[in-house]
Amino acid sequence: MYNMKKERSYWEGTHAANRRIMYLAAGHEQEDIVKKPHIGIANTFFEGSPGTGHLRSLAESVKKGIWMNGGMPMEFGVPATCGNIATGSDGLRYELVLRDIVAMSIEAVVRVHKLDGLVILASCDNVIAGAYLAALRVHIPCIVVTGGIMGAGSYCGQALVQADVDVAAIRGDSELLDIVQEHVCPSFGACPSMGTACTMQILGEALNLVLPGTSTIPAADNLKLRSCVRAGRFIVEQVRRGICPEDLMSREVLFNTVMLDLAIAGSTNAVLHLLAYSQELGLGLTLDDFDRIARRIKCLVGVVPSGRHTVIDLDRAGGVPAVMKRLETELYTGETTLLGNTWGEYLTGVQVPDDSIIHPLQAPFSDIAGIRILRGNLAEEGAVCRPTGVPGSMRAFSGRARVFDQEELAAEAVMRDEIQAGDVIVLRYEGPKGSPGMNELMKVTDRLIAKGMEQTVALITDGRFSGFNHGTIIGHVAPEAMAGGLIAFVEDGDIITYSIPEGILQLEVTEDVIAERKQRWKKPEPKIKSGVLALYGATCRPASEGAAMQNW
């Protein structure tokens, strides 16, 4: 519980004159400095992305709400990137690392400036994931305002999605590429498929970090501006009440969030982030919890790439509150919401207007969960997949291993037609320590889709995938190759068997052969030996614990 009155001493009296001088010089008034709660606005604005290019206007609306309710807003910048810019390059190694950089940057500003409250504006992928991590770390009242959802791309009545760009480019279809480039991203906001950005925006409501009903508002809708004013007013009230994010967090809240993630078939990256939040607060969420909950919660929402709808459609069908209403009988409804009532009380007034978009619990969109955890000798600590993106014929499979230690080599092999039906591509040394940074392996997945091989070839890796990706892909294999996991000892021609319904991932090689290979193995030198990637590789936790740069 935060005590604003206690913290006021930092700004009052003769000993604080030097601090007041700095704020006076920055244009603030003496009375505001001393008497009003100081509300930081951590803005991940960046002109290089449609997901963040509009956040300055949202920040102004947040400030308006803060002033209205007697607070003093102070905006500061936070590093942000656009994952799509890095697609197909080594830059993707930085994306998960950026989650921790964002959290650390916000933590440092809050600590130095003794802020009373905080609003974080964030929208995309690992940036918003880092915003949530920061909110749980700073120990002051804090909420996150999402950037909202991009309009759905279309051309002459034909729906367009981000993945169409890569497929058109790989196939050399210049006419389609021109059309997609011009029309696929028609507004600011997060791409409207169930990628990591939209997944994490949505999960923020269940985590009690985002005001209920606001995460999926389209960025172009003026309701987004009005919700920002409301958020500004709300954070001042939270400061006066002294309620911090950790006060509203529990294992049961995390379980509710996992249920929501499964119901929307969220990005597999969400598994990493939820594990990291649990580690931050010592709440003990594990992959076993995902596995246990997945046995009873199936996918209720068919958003691209699992289905044909967009997150805009989900918003029009009631958004997150409507999905939570569908899950009501399974949720821990006694948990407190960000608004102060219980989830049971909040959901009493929620209606679900469209069964075709948000399916009932008893008649799900898919007969399988949105996330599945696999285990076996090849993944003793677990592996993750999104079954709703896997062709039905490939949910259980046994095939020949084709082993690659770099993504580029695997992608080139696909393009040279060296990968055949029945193969299992094993792409290793792309995990948190091996990459370092746990690369998103979009080159290979996009090429498999472009070649029409997603129904005959599987891909298994200790790296991770974009939320846009679909096909027969299994990631987050732990222990990773760099840590001496069994994936490091797979050889070409080995038989690998998996069953998504049964949660099995197995290397069909005898223990004697594996032991002999381990004797010959020599741990590779780190790929990166300086800079933030090297620091991350040296300090990060395994994927099964969230892969954050912490010595938890």
What pLDDT was estimated at residue 180?
85
Query: What is d(CA 519, CA 498) in angstroms, rounded to the nearest whole number?
Result: 26
Mean pLDDT of 52-56: 97
Query: What is d(CA 443, CA 466) in angstroms, rounded to the nearest whole number?
Result: 11
In a domain, residue 268? The reply is no
Residue with tokens 């950037």: 147
Query: What is d(CA 508, CA 377) in angstroms, rounded to the nearest whole number?
Result: 9
Q: Cα–Cα distances in Å, from 386 out to 151, 216, 425?
A: 24, 21, 17
For residues 4 and 139, is the Cβ–Cβ distance under 8 A? no
For residues 371 and 265, is the Cβ–Cβ distance under 8 A? yes
Closest to 99 in 3D by CA, of 279, 354, 231:
279
From 247, 272, 291, the end of a domain falls on 247
- Asked whether residue 7 carries a pLDDT value surpassing 80, the answer given is no
In a domain, residue 521? The reply is yes
Number of structural domains, the chain? 2
What pLDDT was estimated at residue 552?
65
Model pTM score:
0.96
Query: What is d(CA 549, CA 536) in angstroms, rounded to the nearest whole number?
Result: 6
**Per-residue tokens: 520:** 């010959």
Residue with tokens 């590093």: 79
Q: Which residues contact 281 (CB under 8 A, 6 or more apart)?
A: 136, 246, 249
Query: What is d(CA 501, CA 496) in angstroms, rounded to the nearest whole number?
Result: 16
Task: Give DSSP secondary structure letters for 379-406.
Answer: EEEEEEE-GGGS-GGGSEEEEEEEEESS
CATH code for position 430: 3.50.30.80
Phi, psi of 168 (to 5 degrees): -65, -40
In a domain, residue 529? The reply is yes
In a domain, residue 266? The reply is no
According to DSSP, residue 61 is labeled: H
Mean pLDDT of 221-229: 98
Higher pLDDT, 178 or 89: 178
Closest to 442 in 3D by CA, of 169, 249, 244, 212:
169
- 340-393 pLDDT, tens digit per residue, is 999 999 999 999 988 999 999 999 999 999 999 999 999 999 999 999 999 999
From 226, 247, 268, the end of a domain falls on 247
For residues 42 and 33, is the Cβ–Cβ distance under 8 A? no
Alpha helices (H) in 396-528, listed in sequence order: 407-415, 442-450, 511-520
pLDDT tier at 491, thresholds 50, 70, 90: very high
pLDDT tier at 5, thresholds 50, 70, 90: confident
In a domain, residue 258? The reply is no
CATH code for position 102: 3.40.50.2300
Mean pLDDT of 435-443: 93
For residues 328 and 347, is the Cβ–Cβ distance under 8 A? yes
Mean pLDDT of 190-208: 96
What pLDDT was estimated at residue 164?
73
Residue with tokens 């052969």: 513
- 78-107 pLDDT, tens digit per residue, is 999 998 888 777 888 999 999 999 999 999
Cβ neighbourhood burial of 48 (10 Å; 0-12, 13-18, 19+): exposed
What pLDDT was estimated at residue 510?
97
As beta bridge partners, residue 397 has: 498
Closest to 38 in 3D by CA, of 121, 142, 147, 144:
142
Question: Do both 234 and 381 map to the same domain?
Answer: no
In a domain, residue 356? The reply is no
According to DSSP, residue 16 is labeled: G
For residues 263 and 301, is the Cβ–Cβ distance under 8 A? yes
Apex CA 545: angle with CA 540 and CA 550, to 5°? 35
- 252-294 pLDDT, tens digit per residue, is 999 999 999 999 999 999 999 999 999 999 999 999 999 999 9
- 57-66 pLDDT, tens digit per residue, is 999 999 999 9
For residues 385 and 268, is the Cβ–Cβ distance under 8 A? yes
What pLDDT was estimated at residue 88?
73
Residue numbers of the domain that contains 128: 36-151+187-247
Query: What is d(CA 138, CA 115) in angstroms, rounded to the nearest whole number?
Result: 10
What pLDDT was estimated at residue 550?
87
Mean pLDDT of 527-547: 96
In a domain, residue 349? The reply is no
Tell me what percent of the residues of the chain surpass a pLDDT of 70.
Answer: 99
Closest to 129 in 3D by CA, of 95, 87, 89:
95
From 200, 215, 247, the end of a domain falls on 247
- Asked whether residue 163 carries a pLDDT value surpassing 80, the answer given is no
3-state helix, strand, coil in the chain (%, to 5): 45, 15, 40
- 141-162 pLDDT, tens digit per residue, is 999 999 999 999 988 888 887 7
Active site residues: 466
Using DSSP, state whether 121 is helix, strand or coil. strand
In a domain, residue 228? The reply is yes
